[in-house]
Amino acid sequence: MQRRQGQPDRLALALVATLVTGCQASAPPPVAARNDALPVAVTPAVPATGAASLELSGTVRLKRETALGFNTAGRIAAILVREGDSVARGQVLARLDPTSLAAASSSAGAEVTRADADYRRLEALFEKGWVTAPRVETARAAVAAARARAAQTGFDVGLATIRSPSAGVVLRRPAEPGQIATPGQAVLIIGERDSGYVLRVPLADADLGRVKRGQLAAVTISALGPQQIAATVSEIGARGDDATGTFRVELALPARPDMRSGLIGTARLRFGGTGPVDGDVSVPATAIFAARADEGFVYVLDGAGSRVRLRQVALGPLGDTAVTVTAGLRPGERVVTSGADRLRDGMRVTVARSSVAAVAPPAVKPAA
């Protein structure tokens, strides 16, 4: 009787042990302790200097690029040059078919002869009292009008031949022989070499007050090699472009045989001195995040070098790779330059040994 009562107890104990063993087998393994110190790159903030620069990109052009056309409508008989040809002053470049112009000139001349004869006849009759003075005045006016038309047709005949206004190069040839040209239509576009080459760049209105005529600039044209070309600001536009709001600035370039209209160049203008600016520091552009207007945020490494602190800073000029911070940082403080999107205020970090190089002060870039 006792054996029967103990058997259920043993079965219950075996069942509990089985359940416990099953639970232990299905439980996940223990989680290893995590190391929350993220590896980051840091760079010390360095004093900003007063020497700022402005980088502008533009296109090389001849100062005078003149569109040449005919003064009257007619069929183009010949165009004697091609794009890229060099031309001399006074060289014949294109001609209209003279047939219609010659006919118009002959007709105008005949009208002058007829009007003059009528006037002389009426003047003789007036002296005899056979015609009135108003008739004579009308005849005299007809003579003046006929002579004006003859002069106009003679002027058109003279402009039926296009001559080069200066030594230069043919930049474009938008028309071809056989086409009917309209008055003022561009038949050839000539670049006058005597006018010299310029680099035309767009300047934002925010930078307009800093650029002056005669200011020096260093120009780099990749097609001509890496060397810098000395240039001078020669002209500043008085009105902004309606579409972009920028002002056109021209920089005079030195005469070079390899210079061509249409080349792309970059000009760098420098401003101010080279001494440090009190309170301003320079940091890499990658250290700034959540920037808006003239404010942004950085992560600064604490004194122990093990945690980062979020800090709001005031931003100054933005360069190619660096930013001027006008408030919120001191020289020597180390800022995080990588992984800012994974960081939080107070988070532990480890610093990469190769990430403590100083950053150069920024060059000012124009507003978009």
Q: pLDDT tens for residues 240-258?
A: 998 888 999 999 999 888 9
| 20 has a pLDDT exceeding 50 | no
Contact yes or no for 211/250 (Cβ under 8 A): no
Mean pLDDT of 8-14: 39
Contact yes or no for 365/319 (Cβ under 8 A): yes
| 71 has a pLDDT exceeding 60 | yes
pLDDT the model gives residue 278? 61
Mean pLDDT of 343-357: 77
pLDDT band, residue 311 (cuts 50/70/90): very high
**From start to end of 105-165, where are the E strands?**
161-163
| 210 has a pLDDT exceeding 90 | no
Nearest-10 Cα torsion for 301, 302, 307, 310 = -70
Q: Please report the domains of the chain, with CATH numbers, ordered by start residue.
A: 40-50+275-351 (2.40.420.20), 57-62+195-271 (2.40.30.170), 65-190 (2.40.50.100)
pLDDT band, residue 272 (cuts 50/70/90): low
Task: Supply φ then ψ for residue 214, to 5 degrees.
Answer: 90, -5
State how far the Cα of 141 lies from the Cα of 123, in Å rounded to an integer.
13
pLDDT the model gives residue 24? 41
pLDDT the model gives residue 267? 93
Mean pLDDT of 41-68: 86
CA 177-192-86 angle, 5° bins: 55
Can you tell me which residue has the tokens 């490494």? Answer: 301
Higher pLDDT, 359 or 10: 359
Contact yes or no for 335/301 (Cβ under 8 A): yes
pLDDT the model gives residue 63? 93
State how far the Cα of 281 lies from the Cα of 308, in Å rounded to an integer.
19
State how far the Cα of 105 lies from the Cα of 126, in Å rounded to an integer.
32
Mean pLDDT of 46-68: 85
pLDDT the model gives residue 304? 83
pLDDT band, residue 90 (cuts 50/70/90): very high
pLDDT band, residue 5 (cuts 50/70/90): very low
pLDDT the model gives residue 185? 92
Q: pLDDT tens for residues 127-181?
A: 888 888 999 899 999 999 999 988 888 887 877 889 999 999 999 999 999 999 9
